[in-house]
Amino acid sequence: MSELVVTEFMTLDGIAQAPGGPEEDPEDGFAYGGWQAPLLDPEAGGLIFEQAKGMDALLLGRRTYDIFAGYWPTAPAEMDFTRLLNTVPKFVASRTLKEPLSWDGASVLEGDLAEAVAGLKERYGRVHVIGSLDLVQSLLARRLVDQLNLWVYPVVLGSGKRVFEGGAMPSALRLTASHAFANGAVQLEYTWAGDPALGDLSKP
Protein backbone atom coordinates (compact mmCIF):
# COMPACT_ATOMS: atom_id res chain seq x y z
CA MET A 1 0.00 0.00 0.00
CA SER A 2 1.39 3.41 -0.98
CA GLU A 3 1.52 5.82 1.96
CA LEU A 4 3.13 9.06 3.01
CA VAL A 5 3.73 8.84 6.76
CA VAL A 6 4.61 11.94 8.79
CA THR A 7 6.27 11.50 12.21
CA GLU A 8 6.45 14.50 14.53
CA PHE A 9 7.65 14.91 18.10
CA MET A 10 5.59 17.63 19.78
CA THR A 11 4.77 19.21 23.11
CA LEU A 12 1.33 19.20 24.66
CA ASP A 13 0.71 22.64 23.14
CA GLY A 14 1.75 21.48 19.69
CA ILE A 15 5.33 22.79 19.48
CA ALA A 16 7.59 20.61 17.32
CA GLN A 17 10.55 22.97 16.86
CA ALA A 18 14.06 21.72 17.68
CA PRO A 19 13.23 18.69 19.85
CA GLY A 20 16.73 17.25 19.58
CA GLY A 21 19.11 19.99 20.64
CA PRO A 22 19.74 23.71 21.28
CA GLU A 23 21.29 24.38 17.86
CA GLU A 24 18.81 22.35 15.85
CA ASP A 25 16.51 25.25 14.95
CA PRO A 26 16.97 28.55 16.85
CA GLU A 27 14.81 30.47 14.37
CA ASP A 28 12.87 33.41 15.86
CA GLY A 29 14.93 33.16 19.04
CA PHE A 30 13.51 29.78 20.06
CA ALA A 31 15.02 29.14 23.49
CA TYR A 32 13.87 25.59 24.21
CA GLY A 33 15.86 23.50 21.73
CA GLY A 34 16.41 20.00 23.08
CA TRP A 35 13.14 19.83 25.01
CA GLN A 36 12.57 16.18 24.00
CA ALA A 37 15.96 14.84 25.14
CA PRO A 38 15.19 14.55 28.90
CA LEU A 39 11.97 12.67 28.09
CA LEU A 40 13.39 9.82 26.01
CA ASP A 41 13.27 6.27 27.34
CA PRO A 42 14.27 2.87 25.89
CA GLU A 43 10.70 1.61 25.47
CA ALA A 44 9.66 4.64 23.44
CA GLY A 45 12.91 4.55 21.48
CA GLY A 46 12.25 0.94 20.53
CA LEU A 47 8.81 1.78 19.18
CA ILE A 48 10.13 4.78 17.26
CA PHE A 49 12.58 2.48 15.48
CA GLU A 50 9.97 -0.25 14.87
CA GLN A 51 7.74 2.29 13.16
CA ALA A 52 10.59 3.81 11.15
CA LYS A 53 12.12 0.59 9.86
CA GLY A 54 9.10 -0.02 7.62
CA MET A 55 10.00 2.97 5.45
CA ASP A 56 10.95 2.41 1.82
CA ALA A 57 12.17 6.00 1.33
CA LEU A 58 12.73 9.10 3.46
CA LEU A 59 11.56 12.59 2.46
CA LEU A 60 13.01 15.57 4.36
CA GLY A 61 12.87 19.34 4.32
CA ARG A 62 16.09 21.29 3.82
CA ARG A 63 16.81 22.09 7.50
CA THR A 64 16.13 18.55 8.71
CA TYR A 65 18.24 17.14 5.89
CA ASP A 66 21.18 19.31 6.92
CA ILE A 67 20.86 18.11 10.53
CA PHE A 68 20.58 14.44 9.56
CA ALA A 69 23.35 14.62 6.94
CA GLY A 70 25.65 16.22 9.49
CA TYR A 71 25.20 13.36 11.96
CA TRP A 72 24.04 10.01 10.59
CA PRO A 73 26.77 9.26 8.00
CA THR A 74 29.30 9.01 10.86
CA ALA A 75 26.98 7.95 13.68
CA PRO A 76 27.92 4.90 15.80
CA ALA A 77 27.27 1.70 13.84
CA GLU A 78 25.65 0.00 16.85
CA MET A 79 22.75 2.48 16.85
CA ASP A 80 19.63 0.99 15.27
CA PHE A 81 18.93 4.04 13.13
CA THR A 82 22.43 4.30 11.66
CA ARG A 83 22.16 1.52 9.11
CA LEU A 84 18.51 2.30 8.35
CA LEU A 85 19.01 5.97 7.55
CA ASN A 86 22.30 5.49 5.73
CA THR A 87 20.91 2.84 3.37
CA VAL A 88 17.35 3.97 2.65
CA PRO A 89 16.80 6.24 -0.40
CA LYS A 90 16.54 9.87 0.76
CA PHE A 91 14.90 12.86 -0.94
CA VAL A 92 15.12 16.53 -0.02
CA ALA A 93 12.40 19.04 -0.86
CA SER A 94 14.47 22.14 -1.61
CA ARG A 95 14.68 24.82 -4.30
CA THR A 96 18.24 25.80 -3.41
CA LEU A 97 20.15 22.55 -2.81
CA LYS A 98 22.20 21.34 -5.73
CA GLU A 99 23.32 17.81 -6.49
CA PRO A 100 25.38 15.82 -5.83
CA LEU A 101 24.52 15.84 -2.15
CA SER A 102 26.97 14.93 0.60
CA TRP A 103 24.92 12.04 2.04
CA ASP A 104 25.06 8.82 0.03
CA GLY A 105 21.68 7.87 -1.38
CA ALA A 106 20.25 11.40 -1.12
CA SER A 107 18.87 13.44 -4.00
CA VAL A 108 16.77 16.57 -4.51
CA LEU A 109 13.02 16.21 -5.04
CA GLU A 110 12.20 18.31 -8.08
CA GLY A 111 9.03 19.71 -9.64
CA ASP A 112 5.52 20.17 -8.33
CA LEU A 113 5.25 18.82 -4.77
CA ALA A 114 2.03 16.85 -5.27
CA GLU A 115 3.29 15.25 -8.47
CA ALA A 116 6.70 14.51 -6.98
CA VAL A 117 5.18 12.89 -3.86
CA ALA A 118 2.87 10.78 -6.02
CA GLY A 119 5.89 9.64 -8.01
CA LEU A 120 7.78 8.70 -4.84
CA LYS A 121 4.84 6.64 -3.59
CA GLU A 122 4.63 4.81 -6.89
CA ARG A 123 8.34 3.96 -6.77
CA TYR A 124 8.79 3.21 -3.08
CA GLY A 125 5.38 2.51 -1.57
CA ARG A 126 5.88 3.70 2.01
CA VAL A 127 7.53 7.12 2.22
CA HIS A 128 8.31 8.63 5.63
CA VAL A 129 8.75 12.26 6.62
CA ILE A 130 10.45 13.03 9.95
CA GLY A 131 10.38 16.54 11.43
CA SER A 132 10.69 18.91 8.45
CA LEU A 133 8.02 21.29 9.72
CA ASP A 134 8.01 23.69 6.77
CA LEU A 135 7.63 20.78 4.35
CA VAL A 136 4.93 19.23 6.52
CA GLN A 137 2.93 22.47 6.39
CA SER A 138 2.94 22.23 2.60
CA LEU A 139 2.00 18.55 2.66
CA LEU A 140 -0.87 19.13 5.09
CA ALA A 141 -2.21 22.09 3.12
CA ARG A 142 -2.40 19.87 0.02
CA ARG A 143 -3.77 16.80 1.85
CA LEU A 144 -0.81 14.73 0.77
CA VAL A 145 -0.33 13.02 4.15
CA ASP A 146 -1.83 9.54 4.51
CA GLN A 147 -0.82 8.85 8.12
CA LEU A 148 0.14 11.09 11.02
CA ASN A 149 2.36 9.60 13.71
CA LEU A 150 2.38 12.07 16.60
CA TRP A 151 4.54 11.72 19.69
CA VAL A 152 3.11 14.02 22.35
CA TYR A 153 5.29 14.84 25.38
CA PRO A 154 4.19 16.21 28.79
CA VAL A 155 5.71 19.67 28.46
CA VAL A 156 4.25 23.07 27.49
CA LEU A 157 6.51 25.70 25.91
CA GLY A 158 4.10 28.45 24.83
CA SER A 159 6.05 29.48 21.72
CA GLY A 160 7.72 27.94 18.70
CA LYS A 161 6.75 26.26 15.45
CA ARG A 162 3.70 24.04 15.65
CA VAL A 163 2.73 20.96 13.68
CA PHE A 164 -0.64 22.49 12.79
CA GLU A 165 -0.13 26.10 11.82
CA GLY A 166 -2.61 28.25 9.91
CA GLY A 167 -3.34 26.86 6.47
CA ALA A 168 -3.74 23.20 7.37
CA MET A 169 -6.62 21.64 5.45
CA PRO A 170 -9.67 21.14 7.75
CA SER A 171 -9.91 17.38 8.18
CA ALA A 172 -11.37 14.67 10.38
CA LEU A 173 -8.95 12.06 11.69
CA ARG A 174 -9.32 8.43 12.73
CA LEU A 175 -7.21 7.06 15.58
CA THR A 176 -5.69 3.74 14.47
CA ALA A 177 -3.18 3.09 17.28
CA SER A 178 -1.96 4.60 20.54
CA HIS A 179 0.66 3.90 23.20
CA ALA A 180 1.35 5.49 26.58
CA PHE A 181 4.74 5.49 28.30
CA ALA A 182 5.95 5.78 31.88
CA ASN A 183 7.55 9.17 31.20
CA GLY A 184 4.14 10.64 30.32
CA ALA A 185 4.61 10.60 26.55
CA VAL A 186 1.79 9.37 24.30
CA GLN A 187 2.11 8.11 20.75
CA LEU A 188 -0.96 8.66 18.56
CA GLU A 189 -1.36 7.29 15.05
CA TYR A 190 -4.01 8.82 12.80
CA THR A 191 -5.33 8.37 9.29
CA TRP A 192 -7.59 10.78 7.45
CA ALA A 193 -11.38 10.43 7.70
CA GLY A 194 -12.69 13.05 5.30
CA ASP A 195 -14.03 16.48 6.16
CA PRO A 196 -14.84 17.57 9.73
CA ALA A 197 -18.37 16.67 10.82
CA LEU A 198 -20.43 19.55 12.24
CA GLY A 199 -23.36 19.53 14.63
CA ASP A 200 -25.35 21.58 17.12
CA LEU A 201 -25.12 20.65 20.82
CA SER A 202 -28.21 22.71 21.61
CA LYS A 203 -30.38 20.29 19.68
CA PRO A 204 -31.17 16.72 20.81
15, 157 contact by CB (below 8 A)? yes
For the chain, 204 residues long, give each residue's pLDDT as a single digit of tens: 689 999 999 999 999 999 999 999 999 999 999 999 999 889 999 999 999 999 999 999 999 999 999 999 999 999 989 999 999 999 999 988 888 788 999 999 989 999 999 999 999 999 999 999 999 999 999 999 999 999 999 999 999 999 998 778 899 999 999 999 999 999 999 999 989 999 999 988
3-state SS class at 16: coil
For the chain, report the end-to-end CA distance as a whole number of angstroms. Answer: 41
Name all domains of the chain by residue range, CATH numbers in brackets.
3-192 (3.40.430.10)
Name the E strands within 106-172: 106-109, 126-130, 147-153
Whole-model pTM?
A: 0.93
